Protein backbone atom coordinates (compact mmCIF):
# COMPACT_ATOMS: atom_id res chain seq x y z
CA UNK A 1 0.00 0.00 0.00
CA UNK A 2 1.60 3.27 -1.05
CA UNK A 3 1.24 6.47 0.93
CA UNK A 4 0.46 9.69 -0.79
CA UNK A 5 2.82 12.35 0.52
CA UNK A 6 1.94 15.99 0.44
CA UNK A 7 4.54 18.72 0.36
CA UNK A 8 4.51 21.00 3.36
CA UNK A 9 4.20 24.64 2.53
CA UNK A 10 6.29 27.14 4.39
CA UNK A 11 4.40 29.73 6.39
CA UNK A 12 7.32 32.13 6.00
CA UNK A 13 6.77 35.21 3.88
CA UNK A 14 10.00 34.86 1.89
CA UNK A 15 9.39 38.04 -0.11
CA UNK A 16 9.32 39.96 3.17
CA UNK A 17 12.49 38.21 4.38
CA UNK A 18 14.29 38.93 1.10
CA UNK A 19 13.32 42.60 1.35
CA UNK A 20 14.98 43.02 4.77
CA UNK A 21 18.18 45.04 4.97
CA UNK A 22 21.11 43.66 7.00
CA UNK A 23 20.62 46.31 9.71
CA UNK A 24 17.01 45.13 10.16
CA UNK A 25 17.94 41.53 10.96
CA UNK A 26 17.49 40.35 14.55
CA UNK A 27 20.57 38.48 15.74
CA UNK A 28 19.38 38.12 19.36
CA UNK A 29 19.45 34.31 19.11
CA UNK A 30 22.84 34.37 17.39
CA UNK A 31 25.20 36.61 19.40
CA UNK A 32 28.57 37.62 17.93
CA UNK A 33 31.43 35.19 18.45
CA UNK A 34 34.13 36.07 20.92
CA UNK A 35 37.81 35.94 19.93
CA UNK A 36 38.29 32.79 22.01
CA UNK A 37 35.78 30.89 19.87
CA UNK A 38 38.29 30.26 17.06
CA UNK A 39 41.24 29.54 19.35
CA UNK A 40 39.23 26.89 21.17
CA UNK A 41 37.43 25.44 18.13
CA UNK A 42 37.95 21.75 17.46
CA UNK A 43 38.38 20.50 13.91
CA UNK A 44 36.42 17.30 13.46
CA UNK A 45 38.18 14.62 11.41
CA UNK A 46 35.22 13.65 9.23
CA UNK A 47 33.38 10.38 8.87
CA UNK A 48 33.82 7.51 11.27
CA UNK A 49 34.12 3.80 10.67
CA UNK A 50 32.06 1.31 12.61
CA UNK A 51 34.09 -1.39 14.38
CA UNK A 52 33.61 -4.05 17.01
CA UNK A 53 35.74 -3.36 20.04
CA UNK A 54 36.11 -5.43 23.19
CA UNK A 55 36.57 -3.33 26.33
CA UNK A 56 36.96 -4.30 29.96
CA UNK A 57 33.59 -4.13 31.73
CA UNK A 58 34.74 -1.50 34.21
CA UNK A 59 36.10 0.71 31.43
CA UNK A 60 32.85 0.51 29.49
CA UNK A 61 30.83 1.12 32.67
CA UNK A 62 32.94 4.21 33.42
CA UNK A 63 32.11 5.81 30.07
CA UNK A 64 28.46 4.68 29.98
CA UNK A 65 27.86 6.01 33.49
CA UNK A 66 28.52 9.50 32.20
CA UNK A 67 25.46 9.30 29.96
CA UNK A 68 24.79 10.00 26.33
CA UNK A 69 27.82 10.34 24.10
CA UNK A 70 29.96 7.69 25.75
CA UNK A 71 31.18 6.37 22.38
CA UNK A 72 32.23 9.88 21.39
CA UNK A 73 34.09 10.20 24.69
CA UNK A 74 35.91 6.91 24.10
CA UNK A 75 36.87 8.16 20.63
CA UNK A 76 38.17 11.44 22.11
CA UNK A 77 40.34 9.58 24.62
CA UNK A 78 41.77 7.35 21.88
CA UNK A 79 42.35 10.37 19.62
CA UNK A 80 44.29 12.14 22.39
CA UNK A 81 46.39 9.03 22.92
CA UNK A 82 47.20 8.91 19.19
CA UNK A 83 48.13 12.61 19.20
CA UNK A 84 50.46 12.07 22.15
CA UNK A 85 52.25 9.27 20.27
CA UNK A 86 53.10 11.55 17.32
CA UNK A 87 56.70 12.79 17.18
CA UNK A 88 57.17 16.36 18.34
CA UNK A 89 58.60 18.78 15.73
- Looking at residue 33, its pLDDT comes to 86
Confidence of residue 3 (pLDDT cuts 50, 70, 90): low
For the chain, the structural domain boundaries read: 14-85
Q: Give the pLDDT band (50/70/90) at residue 47.
A: confident
How far apart CA 55 and CA 47 sit, in angstroms, is 22
What is this structure's pTM? 0.49
CB 70 within 8 A of CB 63: yes
Q: Is the pLDDT of residue 50 over 70?
A: yes
- Cα Rg of the chain, angstroms: 23
Amino acid sequence: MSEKRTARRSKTDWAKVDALRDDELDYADNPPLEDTFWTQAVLLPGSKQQVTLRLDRDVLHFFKSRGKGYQTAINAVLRRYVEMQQPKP
